[in-house]
Amino acid sequence: MPKFNYVAMDSRGKETKGTLEVASQNEAISRLKEMGYFPTKVVEAEKPKKEGGKKVAKAPAKGGMGKKEINIRIPGFGGVKTKQLTTFTRQLATLVDAGLPLLRGLRVLQKQEKNPVLRKALGDLGMSIEGGSTFSEALSQHPKIFNRLFVSMVKAGELGGVLEVVLNRLAEFMEKAQKIKGKVIAAMFYPVAVMSVAVIILAVLMIFVVPKFKTIFGDMMDGADLPGFTNFVLQISEGIKAYTIMFPEWAGGFPMPGPVIIGIVIFVIAFKIFAKTKFGRKVIDKIKLKMPVLGPVFTKVAISRFSRTLGTLVSSGVPILQALTIVRETSGNVIVGNAVSRIHESVKEGETITAPLEAANVFPPMVISMVDVGEQTGALPEMLMKIADTYDDEVDNAVSAMTSLLEPIMIVFLAVVVGSIVIALFLPLIKLIEGVGDVSKGSDGGGD
């Protein structure tokens, strides 16, 4: 009868290894579950003659060391999108929940994964687990793909023996975060696209089309003065052409960026450098929360993210202090992060969450009251998730209202600008037609 080596965890998350002599791998998995273990690896024991073979990676110790070297070389510069990671998490949660061993589930997902970076990372995860590492330890070797929130929740699931539950919660958390982000992006796409096209069209008109009318009007008017509004538009066109795109003689008339474009590029670079500083990030995040139209949307998104992250971590078994540390690092806003730091210090001193929440001047009274009730009733995770759901709906409504407000504003703006250009170009023609009419009348009068 064949022998199977296994690596499993008990109900406390402690890892144990051993060998079972059973007929098949499925029987070994069933036997381990009857013993109260959660199997992470069940493979048939190799014969001694295969130890000298080329597949050294199958040996636990050597395989683990080899993959550590490979992990360092993984290019992780944004190679895995949030949507791809969310899909992987949901699929892994489904496989583990169905009773499939973790290692086998990773192998299945690795074979069907199309993203090369994630596929390579899944292979490394499998090798690390075969080498004796826990799932959370293997995940922590890929910080550019799996952040601290992901690793901490998996670790809590391993320690509590509820990995499949935690993976499902993590998948739901990522799906909801992706959903609210997608709503904001989708709502803003239309106005941004319209404004971008409008700016391009206006730039072409003012730089290339309108200046040609100055020559035409000069020939048609025979030195007569142009209407004041027409002169005003022509001067704006000349200024835009002179300061945005230049046609220097030494460059053969080839268009080159003017002072305005160069200034915009310098401003963008300086702004990015400023945004990377601690002070700059704080100023920008504070402005984002206080902006007239977009400010309420950013505030609601920050509150929803804070509530959902903290609620998911606490309900998954992560200690409150560790959960607050993770929330601070993943808040996405320095002002909210500083508020979470004060909450961390308050809880560390044995106090409540409510007081530092109120002092932050970011969270509205309703959120503070709901958190206070959650603390007093011992249902803080559930209350935080309700807050997150509520603010997800409010973000959706706020974005819809903002889009509805922007559409008429854009229509009026474009109508005024384009209409002004058209009127300015037609005024000389109207003046010329009136002049021709006066001449005709004078000729008729002289004949009489």
The CATH number of the domain where 406 resides is what? 1.20.81.30
Determine what percent of the chain is predicted with pLDDT higher than 70: 84
The more confident residue out of 59 and 187 is: 187
Residue 442 lies in a domain: no
Give me the pLDDT at residue 10, please: 66
Strand, helix or coil for residue 34:
helix
Residue 277 lies in a domain: yes
Q: Give me the mean pLDDT over the 226-245 stretch.
A: 84
Sorting pLDDT into bands at 50, 70 and 90, what band is 11?
low
Residue 441 lies in a domain: no
Residue 157 lies in a domain: no
Please write the tens of the pLDDT for every residue from 128-141.
888 888 888 888 88
Sorting pLDDT into bands at 50, 70 and 90, what band is 160?
confident
Q: Is 434's pLDDT higher than 80?
A: no
Closest residue by Cα to residue 205 from 424, 410, 429: 424
Give me the pLDDT at residue 51, please: 41
Q: Give me the mean pLDDT over the 111-137 stretch.
A: 87
* 72 and 181 inside one domain: no
* 194 and 267 inside one domain: yes
Range in 106-110, 149-153, 382-386 the model is least confident about: 149-153
Sorting pLDDT into bands at 50, 70 and 90, what band is 251?
low
* 399 and 255 inside one domain: yes
Q: Give me the mean pLDDT over the 61-90 stretch.
A: 55
Give me the pLDDT at residue 267, please: 93
437 near 222, Cβ under 8 Å? no
Please write the tens of the pLDDT for every residue from 348-380.
887 878 888 887 777 888 888 888 888 888 888
Residue 68 lies in a domain: yes
Give me the pLDDT at residue 12, please: 57
Closest residue by Cα to residue 42 from 129, 159, 164, 133: 129
* 266 and 312 inside one domain: yes
Q: Is 73's pLDDT higher than 50?
A: no
Q: What is the DSSP letter of 44?
A: E
Which residue segment(s) compose the domain that 28 sits in? 3-46
Residue 138 lies in a domain: yes
Give me the pLDDT at residue 71, please: 33
Residue 366 lies in a domain: yes
Sorting pLDDT into bands at 50, 70 and 90, what band is 75?
very low
The more confident residue out of 230 and 65 is: 230
> What are the two backbone dihedrals, phi and then psi, of residue 366, each rounded to the nearest 5 degrees?
-60, -45
Give me the pLDDT at residue 269, please: 94
* 141 and 181 inside one domain: no
* 27 and 97 inside one domain: no
* 295 and 404 inside one domain: yes
* 256 and 330 inside one domain: yes
Range in 76-90, 156-170, 315-329 the model is least confident about: 76-90
Q: Is 212's pLDDT higher than 50?
A: yes
Sorting pLDDT into bands at 50, 70 and 90, what band is 253?
low
Give me the pLDDT at residue 249, please: 62
- What mean pLDDT is reported for the chain? 78
The more confident residue out of 448 and 273 is: 273
* 376 and 354 inside one domain: yes
Q: Give me the mean pLDDT over the 91-119 stretch.
A: 87
Q: Is 7's pLDDT higher than 80?
A: no
Please write the tens of the pLDDT for every residue from 312-333.
888 877 888 888 888 887 777 8
Burial of 153 (0-12, 13-18, 19+ CB in 10 A): buried
For residue 317, what are its two tokens? 């078994």
Distance (Å, whole) CA 210 – CA 204 = 9
* 191 and 292 inside one domain: yes
Range in 136-145, 153-162, 215-224, 391-400 the model is least confident about: 215-224
Sorting pLDDT into bands at 50, 70 and 90, what band is 50?
very low
Give the pTM.
0.62
Number of domains in the chain: 3
For residue 314, what are its two tokens? 């606490």
Residue 278 lies in a domain: yes
* 287 and 253 inside one domain: yes
* 24 and 72 inside one domain: no
Determine what percent of the chain is predicted with pLDDT higher than 90: 2
Q: Is 196's pLDDT higher than 60?
A: yes
Q: Give me the mean pLDDT over the 42-69 stretch.
A: 46
